[in-house]
Structure 1
Amino acid sequence: MSQTTQSDLIGITDVAAKIPQFIGKLPHLVTGLKQAYLRTPNSPAGLGIAFEKAVKRNPHGYALLFEEQKYTYQQLNDWANQIGHYYLSIGAQKGDVIAVMVENRPELVASVLALAKIGVTAALVNTSQVGKVLAHSINLVNPIALIVGEECRAAVDEIRQELNLAEQRFHWFADQETRQHAATAPAHYLNLADEIITFPTFNTPTTHSVKGKDGLFYIYTSGTTGLPKAVIFTHSRWTLAYGTYGHVLDLNSDDVMYVTLPLYHATGIVVCWCGVIASSATLALRRKYSTSAFWKDVQKFNASAIGYVGELCRYLMDAPASELEHTHRVKKMIGNGMRPNIWDKFKQRFGVEEVLELYASSEGNVGFSNVFNFDNTVGFSPTPYAIVQFDKEKNEPIRDTNGWCQKVSKGEVGLLIGKITRRSPFDGYTDPEKNKSVIMSNVFKNGDAYFNTGDLVRDIGFRHAQFVDRLGDTFRWKGENVSTTEVENMLCEYPKIAEAVVYGVEIPHTNGRAGMAAITLAEQAQLNEQDLQAMLSCFKKSLPAYAIPVFLRVQKQVETTGTFKYQKNKLKEQAFDPEKTNEQILVLLPNSNAYCDMNTEIYSNIQQYQYRF
């Protein structure tokens, strides 16, 4: 949980002091805000239009760098057009959905851009997903096709028979530079690189028929009912992000943004790429984050800006000092989750001058951006919102005797809610029932409606906030949202586990919360040495690595309330401290292939940051 000091509180004099450095950004920001707010749901809008404008501004400048590959704006646009024309030729039309499961590489970027231009929604499948979760995610959005990279094909093959897709709609990219070498597709897959080669490179005729209300992406979030939810991200919301985050970053055509974040998340695909497109700058991609390669890549690509999440910052701070971390031109970074206790240290160590911390969610209607470059804040919000008093024990907002919610005072923590208006709509989930569960009505007056973010934030003044904690049945670990219900269901696939209660616990010096599960065993079952390894193997088959519990607590019986709800507060409070319970606690130490018993020595080492979780 973040800590605040009196110095973090912001007033009008603090903002006034920032005005001189803000003035230079103003023309670019005003341009962006015009595009962001002078729009209606029926206005032509979105990624395709913005990218084609960037092509006109800088056709021969580099749009994308990856490993040894380089693509100019014109080349990337030509490639996307060929993909777009191909899908139009097989009958794809605005409103259709195509699932895309490709790791961070040019084929993913070109495919997403192509689908945006023809009004087809790209369902950005998490490339870590496997088994039932993967099948659910794909079938949930009823796609007309699936684009899969060879690197993800094994996971798709495993559940192929469960997918509601025609045989000829499994489209494939080799795991290589397919513009040069298309390779040969495996059986039962159509080679997309071969199929598109004869199609024209001129802009698809559909780009300007795509409107703000049309779907751009489906981005998956952790589902509180146990499986991922698909959140619709419209072209209008993309244009809002482009006009705000994209222009606040204030890059130019010589800038290079280095991104190691997965592009199936909005921070990478929306926020970071918006900043690049807004300035016709360059996006430099790495397939997966690597601490040892980070500054080497920054040098290789001559990066001047980086995309981040809190975990990435912690990994870089933990790494041994290197000469490379000083001989670079990175002055700006954009992302979320920078912890207050390393904020200043990070800037000083790596020479970063501007941390554009932001707050947004894939499904939400409220956003903050650190436009004034204050420390320790998610920034300023121009969108209508409120921070209201919240009862953590009852897990609900506090209402007065008249039934109205109460706003917190400056410096206090409360629940962040976003007012639903025409300019700040709630686009919602694919499931209408899930939409109802996150909309609060009659908050301050009869008839009003607010989106419940499920996040606690601190009001630090002048429409600025600090992120504090996440509520509900999800927690964040390794930069990913983890659904407790999803993990609970999967843990019970192990024959000896009868019931599981999953929750997040804090490990000192880490971001977010690590997974912990209180498990009860099937009748007369006992865990032996073989189980400690076998459980992990079982979990790996159905869960991505970040969702596998770090700690297991073996209970004889799960404690519930009178309404049969799990007593998670007590479990969270005791966490993995062996001194606070007589029950067996197991821990999965880094780089281990089996759980082991927690003891006081291991617990002490965890507290002293002897392990890098």
Structure 2
Amino acid sequence: MSQDNVTAMDIARSLPGILKRFPAIAKGYYYYSVKDANKPLTLGTLVKNNAEKHRDRPAILFEDFSITWGDFNSWSNRIAGYFQAQGLKKGDSIAIFLENRPEVLAVVAGAAKIGVACAMLNTSQKGKVLEHSANLVNPKMVVVGEELAAAFDDVKGNLQLDHPTPFLFLADTNTLNTFGDAPSDYANMAQQVSTFSSNNPVLSDPPRAGDTAIYLFTSGTTGLPKAAPGSHTKFLKAYGGFGLMSLSMKPDDVFYCTLPLYHGTGLVVCWGSVLAGGSAFALRRKFSASAFWDDVRRYDATVFGYIGELCRYLLNQPASDQDRNHRLTRMLGNGLRPSIWTEFKERFGIDKVAELYASSEGNVGFSNFLNLDNTVGLSTAPYKLVRFHDGTRDPVRDDKGVMQEVAKGEPGLLISEITTKWFFEGYTQKEATEKSILRDAFKKGDSWFNTGDVLRNLGFRHLQFVDRMGDTFRWKGENVSTNEVENIIDGSGMVEEAIVYGVEIPKTNGKAGMVTLVPNSDSFDINKLLAYLQKNLPAYAVPVFVRVTNAIEKTGTFKYRKVDIQKAGYALERPHEEVFAWLPKTESYTQLTPELVSDIDSGEFRF
């Protein structure tokens, strides 16, 4: 298939595969299209069903141990009973602050069984950002892993928790079998959970499909993270749409996942697909390019979850005669660039790229259901691609206030109509929800979700991802809010003004963070600022480049000329300004020279 369009011939070539997968597609469509929010079909139901069908098959593979579906269900039941004994009930929420390990899934499943929602705290967050996120959903309790206790201890005194014993500790060990010791101000959750019944809970008012199962945190244009509620329906859609319709998952499949489980792609998309097949979920705490294929062979993985940056890192590894020595032929995720799509498939022997487009809070999703190259696939949701103002998330309206669709092949802002079927769950903050809704777009009274993303139509309703717009950019697989970083910089007390944006670095994915700033004194120490940023921001959000100037240009209405500044990137042509870079494997900012800029542009540094 051409990078630029989808043809009737491409569609025809995919038909034999569709016919072969028809039973899985038919079953998947049932789950994908569940409309009844009151249906007692939930994440907990899916776990229980797998325990009944595949009791002795592996559900989770992690490091050197395996957990069967029967044992996993029993574990989640004990957790459900423990939460009930703690007074938690349907509609309550807890927060989870754990790295990728089986306990994340067990706690989410256990809470889901009694209608308690889990707020998935970003494990990279610290300081003020972590404190803000944890307080957004007013959780009753927080489950903290030993591996993250130091970061959590820095903020827990400022959290607003309504429970007599709110802090639950899980030792950094296999807590299904060993408990470890908990600090004095935490409850030892594993030890206490072990005393509860492993039977499925019986409830007079069980959770329903439309109830909130999780909260995922997203960086938006308002600065600090927003909490987006996700219902059990999201798991059902992933179960049917990705697990069955796209991947035809089966019990002997092994899905290898290095993506963080606080992200929707890892938790909902990848795990939802595993649930659909009664398959095994092989987890790794953090992605490692050098260990990736050894893990794939170790777990005998057949599928893996990706983001585009991950694939780039794998391609950058030295070629090996072991590159195809594995059983992995399918991949599910988002952000695979057209420039490396074919190369990746051919080098590693991948047959199916189930590329998708979705967002934690959105009401629209796309899936490469037909296995065509260079596309996020198609969607059954009502959507349009419309013209937008450059450098913003704002659609263009004509003199009558009506939005204008773009032509085929032209990049356009993706908006999705909000209907009874395609409802918008929004955020916990009402003002943030309203900012994402476009009203009276094409006729009076209609409403549309503004994704803030730019895509293009390749034909036959297949789209290709182009870019993210507005005040968010993507780096290291994470969405970075420019306002969030600006607010942290402002709090340093070291600058008068700062404007943050993303810039492209050749031979990398996403956009690296850059800040143009005006120091507030002649004794400005850029590495003192770096230390402050590292303390208060995740590593991926710390600006890679810093431009130091004595003034930032503004418009007549006192708005920054952000587009002009962004176009300058890290170039050195602007007089009386200095540009610094946080180069890979260094501990401080380095002032750029023409030679270093040339080395960065030629790919000498692997950011």
1:588 maps to which residue?
A: 582
Give, in angstroms, the shift of residue 6 of structure 1. 5.6
CA contact (8 A) 2:546 2:581 kept: yes
Candidates 383, 386, 405, aligned match of 1:385: 383
2:168 aligned residue (168, 171, 175): 171
CA distance in 2 between counterparts of 1:393 and 1:210 reads 43
- Is it true that 1:86 corresponds to 2:46 in the alignment? no
AA in 2 matched with 1:192 = M
Which amino acid in 2 is paired with 1:556?
A: N
Per the TM alignment, residue 581 of structure 1 is displaced from its structure 2 partner at its CA by 4.8
Q: Deviations over 1:178-199 (max 9, x none)?
A: 1222011111000001101110
1:159 to 155, 161, 170: 155
1:352 aligns with 2:345: no
Matched, 1:463 2:461: yes
Once the two structures are superposed, residues 105-143 of structure 1 have per-residue CA deviations (whole angstroms, 9 ceiling, x without a partner) of 011111111111111010000011111111111111000
- Give the length in aligned residue pairs: 605
- C-alpha distance in 2, partners of 1:609/1:253? 43
Tell me: CA distance 1:145–1:394, structure 2 relative to 1, closer, same or farther (3 Å): closer
Aligned to 1:9: 5
Moved more, 305-314 or 206-215: 206-215
Aligned pair 1:565/2:559, yes or no?
Answer: yes
Distance in 2 between the 1:535 and 1:393 partners?
28
| Offset of residue 404 of structure 1 | 1.7
User: Counterpart in 1 of 2:421?
Assistant: 423
- What is the CA distance between 1:56 and its match in structure 2? 1.7
What CA deviation, in whole Å up to 9, does each residue of 1:477-511 have, x standing for no partner? 00001011110111223332222100000011111
For residue 290 of structure 2, give the secondary structure of its aligned residue in structure 1: helix
1:503 aligned partner, one-letter code: Y
Residue 538 of structure 2 is aligned with which of 536, 541, 544? Answer: 544
Deviation, structure 1 residue 167: 5.4
1:474 pairs with one of 472, 475, 478: 472
Residue 491 of structure 2 aligns with which residue? Answer: 493
The 1:249–1:207 alpha-carbon spacing in structure 2 relative to 1, beyond 3 Å, is farther
The answer to whether 1:230 aligns with 2:227 is: yes
Aligned to 2:143: 147
Aligned residue identity for 1:536 = L
User: For each residue in 1:266-309, what CA deviation from the matched residue of structure 2 results, as whole angstroms up to 9, or x when unmatched?
Assistant: 00001111111101010000001111111111111010110000
Contact persistence 1:257–1:307 (CA under 8 A): yes
Q: Compared with structure 1, are the counterparts of its residues 581 and 78 closer, same or farther at alpha carbon in structure 2 (3 Å cutoff)?
A: farther
2:198 corresponds to which of 177, 198, 201: 201
Residue 57 of structure 1 corresponds to which residue in structure 2? 53
The equivalent of 1:575 in structure 2 is 569
Matches of residues 25-40 of structure 1 in structure 2 within 5 Å? 25-40=21-36
Q: Residues of 2 paired with 1:269 and 1:395: CA distance?
A: 27
Determine the C-alpha separation between the residues in 2 that align with 1:251 and 1:244.
11
Does residue 1:239 correspond to 2:236, yes or no?
A: yes
Identify which of 188, 195, 215 aligns with 1:218. Answer: 215
Does structure 2 conserve the Cα–Cα contact (< 8 Å) formed by 1:211 and 1:236? no
Spell out, residue by residue over 1:122-168, the C-alpha distance to the aligned partner (whole angstroms, 9 max, x if none): 00000111111111111110000000000110111111210112451
Q: For residue 431 of structure 2, give the secondary structure of its aligned residue in structure 1.
A: helix
Distance 1:16 1:102, change over 3 A: same
Q: Which stretch of the first structure deviates more once superposed, 239-248 or 425-434?
A: 239-248
Alignment partners' CA distance in 1, 2:559 and 2:229: 31
Q: Is the 8 A contact 2:34 2:233 kept in 1?
A: no
Q: 1:309 aligned to 2:307?
A: yes
Q: Which moved more, 1:502-511 or 1:35-44?
A: 35-44
Unaligned runs of 5+ in 1: none
Q: Which residue of 2 aligns with 1:131?
A: 127
Q: Deviations over 1:384-423 (max 9, x none)?
A: 1111122316753222333221221211110100111111
Listed one character per residue, the Cα deviations across residues 183-229 of structure 1 (whole Å, up to 9, x for unaligned) are 11111000001101110001122498211221011000013222110
2:606 to 603, 609, 612: 612
Q: Is the 8 A contact 1:219 1:232 kept in 2?
A: yes
Matched-pair contact (CA < 8 Å) for 2:549–2:576: no
Residues 501/299 of structure 1: CA separation in 2 closer, same or farther (3 Å cut): same
Q: 1:75 aligns with which of 61, 71, 87?
A: 71
Question: Which stretch of structure 1 is more off in the superposition, 264-273 or 37-46?
Answer: 37-46
Distance 1:446 1:142 in 2: 37
**1:49-89 alpha-carbon deviations (Å, 9 max, x no partner):** 11211222211100000000100000111111100001011
In terms of mean alpha carbon deviation, does 253-262 or 575-584 score higher?
575-584
Q: Is the 8 A contact 2:234 2:268 kept in 1?
A: no
The equivalent residue for 2:99 is 103
**3-state SS of 1:60 partner:** coil
**Shift of the alpha carbon at 1:463?**
1.1
Letter in 2 for 1:124: M
Residue 182 in structure 1 maps to residue 179 in structure 2: yes
CA distance in 1, matches of 2:400, 2:93: 46
Question: Mean alpha-carbon deviation: is it higher for 235-244 or for 362-371?
Answer: 235-244
CA distance in 1 between partners of 2:501 and 2:324 (Å): 39
Identify the match of residue 337 of structure 1 among 332, 335, 343: 335
Which range moved further: 378-387 or 557-566?
Answer: 557-566
Mapped contact 2:3–2:338 kept (Cα < 8 A): no
Superposition CA RMSD, Å: 1.5
Residues 438-484 of structure 1, C-alpha deviations (whole Å, 9 max, x = no match): 11111122211110000010011111101101111111100001011
- After alignment, is 555-564 or 178-187 more displaced? 555-564
* 8 Å CA contact 1:49, 1:208 repeated in 2: no
Gaps of 5+ in 2: none
Q: Which of the residues 513, 516, 519 maps onto 2:517?
A: 519
Distance 2:164 2:185 in 1: 7
Give the partner amino acid of 2:66: K
Q: Could you tell me whether the CA contact under 8 Å between 2:393 and 2:452 is conserved in 1?
A: no
Taking a change above 3 Å as real, the CA distance of residues 539 and 207 of structure 1, as seen in their structure-2 partners, is farther
Give the one of 386, 394, 409 matched to 2:407: 409
| Equivalent pair of 2:10/2:372 in contact (CA under 8 Å) | no
Identity across the alignment (%)? 46
Do the aligned partners of residues 122 and 364 (structure 1) sit closer, same or farther apart at CA in structure 2, a change above 3 Å counting? same
1:388-399 aligned at under 5 Å gives the runs 388-392=386-390, 396-399=394-397
Q: 2:90, 2:115 within 8 Å by CA — same for their partners in 1?
A: yes
Q: Name the aligned partner's letter for residue 578 of structure 1.
A: L
Instruction: Supply the distance in 2 between the matched residues of 1:421 and 1:612 (Cα, whole angstroms).
Output: 45
Is the 8 Å Cα contact of residues 238 and 273 (structure 2) preserved in structure 1? no
User: How far off its partner does 1:326 sit?
Assistant: 1.6
Compute the TM-score of the two structures, normalised by the length of structure 2.
Answer: 0.97
Cα shift at 1:364 = 0.5
